[in-house]
Amino acid sequence: MQQLLHNFQTGDIFLQTSPVPSPGVGEIIVRSHRSLISAGTERMLVDFGKAGYLEKAKQQPEKVRQVLDKVKTDGIGPTFQAVSSKLNEPIPLGYSNVGTVIAIGDGVKDFAVGDRVVSNGHHAEVVVVPENLASHIPEDVDDETASFTVVSAIALQGIRLLEPTIGETFAVFGLGLIGQVAVQLLRQSGCRAIGFDLDENRVALARQFGAQAFVVGDDFDPAAAVSEVTGGIGADGALITASTKSDLLMHQAAECCRKRGRIVLTGVTGLNLRRADFYEKELTFQVSCSYGPGRYDPAYESEGSDYPLPFVRWTAKRNFDAILQLMAEGKLDVAPLISSKHDFGSASAAYEEVSGGEAIGVLLEYPQDPNVNPLEEKTVIHVAGKPLDLTSKEVCVGLIGAGGFTRSVLAPAISKSGARMKWVSSRKGLSASTLATKLDIERSTTDTSELLDDPETNTVFITPRHNSHFHFVMEALKRGRNIFVEKPLCLSSDELEEIRATYLKNPVHMMAGFNRRFAPLVVKAQELIKRRSEPLSLLYVCNAGQLPESHWLLDEAVGGGRLVGECCHFIDLLIHIVGAPAVKVSTFRQGSSAKLDVSFSVSLEFADGSIGSINYLVNGSKKFPKENLKIFSEGRVLELDNYKSLSGAGFSSFSKKRALSQDKGHNAAVKAFVSAIEQGTAPATSFESIYYAMQATFAAKQSFDNGGLEEIN
């Protein structure tokens, strides 16, 4: 299938071939008929992409501050790599899609194959969307009309927050797509609408919909116009749908409102508010979030949990339904808003029209060949090919997962290792096909079984979210594939024991993504203390910082939580440096809060008498370096500072070593893994060491939960 993408670094808009996505739990697959380009939002994205680096920086000063902080802590090299990777990652465009359901995932209740639906799907021939962000289209609403549903729901949600009553007057600033719909919805609510825009044609169109609209010029005073229309009363409220960097628009909206009026923002504007505007009139101000309650809530969007109707009457989906009802009843007329129509294959021409600034509603039309079923198309996209050769001894890689870390760090490391990259898979297909194109990976797919069953693929890299690691490790073990699995290996002791039992029956080269043991400065530290005769004392500090409450890592069923999902890194490193497994562990969490994202300290006792402490802290500053390790040994001390420098005290021939740039060992870990397979030598890391690290991690989690000391057998 084809999907429309935008590159933030270059501003290019292009079609990319991707595998047909597969539905997850609570998701539907839709074959597109039409999609609407949101002229305001998408033009803003495209213009940002076309801007130079300096202009991009001016538009996002907060991002610039984050970059400068990262330079201070991690260095220029890693920061440049991270920024370049982020900017060069294509993003899908569009969020107003109409099509037919062609497949449903487990747990879908409200949709069936063949249903005609509207959704917030991207501009693509086939889209996958959660059922809570899709609605059935009434029979008497055609595809072109329905394609305006999602954008119209944005206007509807803004108006709901205004709480209009019959006879009130509202000013609408910005008469683009959302503003024109807002005018109609206000008129349907029995209210008077006064519109303002810079464009004469848009003002004329708003007048057709019943607004008293005005062209705004340099000397034009919106407040005077509103005062004249309302007989000096002023507007009961203002809806701002325009996009501008200026703070003037908020001031004008406040001037237009009567005392105790209300202002709602659905657009983008400067927000340096003047206190007097709001203080003297006791105005209220609220920003409207997209289509309504549920948007950006993972429980609503990804998990399919709905808000109870008696308590949340209008969710995003129910706003879609309300718009479709108005369309069916002829109370919302979007036909005059259609500026042009384009075949999907010529989407670039459509965006040139949008960039001109005059278009309001631009539609994309998709091919509808009844003899072509997208689900019957191959789920494998051949990017670059090599003939099948089962006699080859090369490492032939299948990469499962194409998330941000995989795209920016792990996949480039595999490419540098010299391994043949034959496969990459992701559930929705886009990230896999993008990565395949970037690194010349031969095939991208949404069907992981094709990758696992390929007889030529002897090595599998497993990188999706943590709750999938156990499943893919077991499938790869059963097929005798060599395995590199990102940390953690699995999410429970039971899973760990099942992996161990299967591994012992069919040993393969296996490595977990515990890359820090391969960091050059860690290797140097081990050389300096390798002849020790006494136990070590180790202190590791991770200035991790807090995550949003909705982050998947904090969901123990998905990410395992921060101790299992991240701290396993540092537990492994300490075990590796000591060279002996942990036998006792105790974890202390900060305070008595039930929050998952809290600071904690893990204390370890090792079989050789060494001790270690890991302080994993979420309450620090991002301006402070993230990781620090101190090793105390026989009157000597080593300090590893954020993988950029290693300092020593008490050593006769060593004082300090600096790295050219921060190096946490990712490239070295992958290279060691691949080389061991190629050369037929012992695995770069033993399975026992991986097992010990995960065993200690689960014991630490048990102590985190119950507060006791855990002994490890």
* pTM, two decimal places: 0.82
Domain membership of residue 529 (yes or no) is yes
Query: Is the predicted pLDDT of residue 391 greater than 90, yes or no?
Result: no
Q: Of all residues in the chain, what percent carry a pLDDT higher than 70? A: 91
Considering the domain architecture, whether residues 132 and 273 belong to the same structural domain is answered as no
- Give the pLDDT of residue 359: 85
Residues 132 and 217 in one domain: no
pLDDT reading at 219 higher than 90: no
Spatial distance between the Cα atoms of 235 and 229, rounded to a whole number of angstroms: 9
The answer to whether the beta carbons of residues 210 and 181 sit under 8 Å apart is no
Please say whether the beta carbons of 341 and 147 come within 8 A: no
Mean pLDDT over residues 14-28, rounded?
Answer: 89
Does the pLDDT at position 60 exceed 70? Answer: no
pLDDT in the model for residue 361 = 92
Beta bridge pairs of residue 116: 100
* Consecutive H or E run containing 322: helix 316-328
DSSP-assigned states of every residue in 556-591: TTTT-HHIIIIIHHHHHHHHHHHTS-EEEEEEEESS
What CATH number corresponds to the domain at position 340? 3.90.180.10
The CATH number assigned to the domain holding 210 equals 3.40.50.720
* Angstrom distance (rounded) from CA 438 to CA 411: 10
Task: Give Cα 241 distance to the centre of its chain.
Answer: 26
Q: Give the separation between CA 123 and CA 246, rounded to whole angstroms.
A: 31
The residue among 256, 287, 318 that closes a domain is: 287
Taking the C-alpha atoms of residue 497 and residue 476, their distance in angstroms, rounded to an integer, is 16
**pLDDT, mean of residues 124-138:** 96
- For the ranges 1-10, 206-215, 295-304, 637-646, the lowest mean pLDDT is seen at 1-10
pLDDT band at 200 (very low <50, low <70, confident <90, very high): very high
Q: What is the dihedral of CA 205, 206, 211, 216, to 10 degrees?
A: -110
- Record the tokens describing residue 296, joined without a space: 């950006």
d(CA 133, CA 315): 10
For 148-169, give one letter per residue: b (16+ CB within 10 A) or e: bbbbbbbbbbbbbbbebeeebb
Cα 392 to Cα 399: distance, rounded to the nearest angstrom: 19
Q: What is the mean pLDDT of residues 38-48?
A: 73
- Assess if residue 688 is contained within a domain: yes
Residue 392 has pLDDT above 60, yes or no: no
The whole-angstrom separation of Cα 146 and Cα 307 is 24
Average pLDDT over residues 361-384: 76
Spatial separation of the C-alpha atoms in residues 588 and 563, rounded to whole Å: 12
Whether 499 is covered by a domain: the verdict is no
Strand (E) positions, 105-188? Answer: 116-119, 126-130, 134-136, 169-173
Say how far apart CA 197 and CA 392 lie, in whole Å.
67
Q: What percent of the chain has pLDDT over 90?
A: 77
Separation of alpha carbons 523 and 537, rounded Å:
18
Say which range, 12-21, 40-49, 308-317, 695-704, has the weakest mean pLDDT.
40-49
Please tell me whether residues 175 and 279 are part of one structural domain.
yes
Please indicate, yes or no, if residue 409 is contained in any of the structural domains.
Answer: yes
Query: Both 265 and 319 in a single domain?
Result: no
Same domain, yes or no: 160 and 256: yes
- The pLDDT assigned to 416 comes to 95
Confidence check: pLDDT of 489 > 70: yes
Question: 444 has which bridge partners?
Answer: 381, 424
Is 397 inside a domain boundary? Answer: yes
Residue 87 has pLDDT above 80, yes or no: no
- How confident is the model over 384-408, as a mean pLDDT? 79
The CATH number of whichever domain residue 631 belongs to comes to 3.30.360.10
Residues 586 and 680 in one domain: yes
> Which residue type occupies 158?
G
For the chain, the C-alpha Rg in angstroms (whole number) is: 29
- How many structural domains is the chain composed of? 4
The answer to whether residue 594 is domain-embedded is yes
Q: What is the pLDDT of residue 80?
A: 63
Q: Could you give the C-alpha distances from 224 to 52, 69, 168, 420, in angstroms and in order? A: 40, 47, 18, 70
Contact of 350 with 37, CB cutoff 8 Å: yes
pLDDT band at 379 (very low <50, low <70, confident <90, very high): low
Residue 5 near residue 92, CB atoms below 8 Å: yes
What is the residue type of 711? E
Q: Which of 464, 482, 497 is the last residue of a domain?
A: 464
Confidence of residue 277 (pLDDT cuts 50, 70, 90): very high
On the question of pLDDT at 8 being above 90, the answer is no
The lowest-confidence range among 64-78, 100-114, 556-570 is 64-78
Token output for 449: 């079984």
Regarding whether 345 and 237 lie in a shared domain, the answer is no
Residues 670 and 521 in one domain: yes
Instruction: Identify whether residues 21 and 94 lie together within a single domain.
Output: yes
C-beta atoms surrounding 507 within 10 Å? 11
Residue 52 confidence class, pLDDT cut points 50, 70, 90: low
Q: How much is the pLDDT for 84?
A: 65
For the stretch 456-477, pLDDT in tens is: 999 999 999 999 999 999 999 9
Q: What's the pLDDT score for residue 382?
A: 61
Domain boundary residue among 442, 464, 486? 464
Q: Give the pLDDT mean for 205-221.
A: 94
Which residue has 């429980």 as its token pair?
299
**Could you tell me if 447 and 544 lie in one domain?**
no
Same domain, 181 and 262: yes
| Residue 307 predicted with pLDDT over 60 | yes
In a domain, 509, yes or no: no
Beta sheet of 645-649, edge-to-edge order: 656-658, 645-649, 636-641, 627-633, 537-543, 611-617, 600-606, 582-589, 709-711
pLDDT at residue number 229: 96
pLDDT band, residue 82 (cuts 50/70/90): low
Q: Is the same domain home to 446 and 409? A: yes
What mean pLDDT, rounded, does the chain reach?
91
Question: Quick one: tokens of 71?
Answer: 């330079």
Cis ω before 683 (30° cut-off from 0): no
Mean pLDDT within 535-544: 97
- Is the model's pLDDT at 390 over the cut of 90? no
- Averaged pLDDT, 622-638: 95
Residue 375 in any domain: the answer is no
713 pLDDT band, cuts 50/70/90, is confident
Question: The domain containing residue 627 runs over which residues?
Answer: 516-711
The pLDDT of residue 606 is above 60: yes
Q: How many CB atoms lie within 10 A of CB 598?
A: 18
